[in-house]
């Protein structure tokens, strides 16, 4: 019998990390994800103490976060809980709701600027058709990026996360890396 070892969405034993001038891009392989949807007649829960966000919003709580994905639907994130049965935990705190495991279907890339929001907003303006001024902290939206669909989440002034289909991980990394390298070359 062969020894099975988990790999990241980019196919490595460890998450990928790269720096481009003031920008750092890293694969977040430790993010558990579950979708939460209201069933007819179900009251909106407050899972893990989170007040679920409205359209275009993202909220963070103690070790968990949520983003609005559609009417009565959210994606719930839990950093550091990939090895746990996060979906079962969510079902316990959201009774009567439909909860579905999503972790293995998605890839998450975190983009952090060490020089404030300007390098991050410049990169975003080249990648997605979103006005960075409209994507302040706590905002989230679904958009296209190089013919791929992804969620763009503004976690902070100098921090953005992208969630996309795991099957697009390599293509998305290539797009991010190419745009970040070009931006770095213009600065130097």
Domains recognised in the chain with CATH numbers: 17-187 (3.30.1360.120)
Residue with tokens 């949520």: 66
CA distance 145 to 92: 35
Q: Give the contacts of 77 (CB within 8 A, at least 6 positions apart).
A: 31, 32, 33, 64, 65, 66, 67
CA distance 97 to 95: 6
Q: pLDDT per position in the chain (188 positions), as tens?
A: 678 888 899 999 999 999 999 999 999 999 999 999 999 999 999 999 999 999 999 999 999 999 999 999 999 999 999 888 999 999 999 999 999 999 999 999 999 999 887 888 999 998 998 887 889 999 999 999 999 999 999 999 999 999 999 999 999 999 999 999 998 887 66
What are the strands of the beta sheet with 58-60, ordered from one edge?
A: 58-60, 64-70, 73-79, 31-37, 98-101
What is the β-pairing status of strands 73-79 and 98-101? unpaired
pTM metric for this prediction: 0.93
């Amino acid at each position: 019998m062969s020894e099975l070892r988990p790999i990241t969405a980019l196919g490595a034993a460890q998450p990928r990390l790269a720096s481009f001038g003031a920008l750092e891009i890293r694969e977040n392989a430790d993010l558990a994800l579950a979708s939460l949807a209201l069933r007819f007649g179900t009251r909106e829960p407050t899972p893990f103490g989170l007040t679920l966000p409205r359209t275009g919003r993202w909220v963070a709580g103690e070790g968990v976060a949520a983003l609005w994905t559609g009417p009565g639907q959210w994606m719930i994130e839990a950093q550091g809980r990939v090895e746990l049965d996060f979906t079962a935990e969510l079902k316990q705190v959201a009774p009567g709701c439909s909860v579905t495991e999503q972790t293995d279907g998605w890839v998450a890339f975190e983009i952090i600027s060490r020089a404030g929001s300007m390098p991050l907003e410049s990169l975003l303006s080249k990648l997605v058709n979103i006005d960075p001024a409209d994507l302040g902290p706590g905002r989230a939206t679904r958009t296209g990026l190089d013919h791929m669909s992804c969620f763009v989440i503004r976690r902070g002034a100098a921090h953005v996360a992208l969630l996309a289909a795991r099957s697009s991980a390599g293509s998305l990394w290539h797009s991010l890396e190419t745009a970040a390298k070009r931006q770095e070359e213009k600065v130097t």
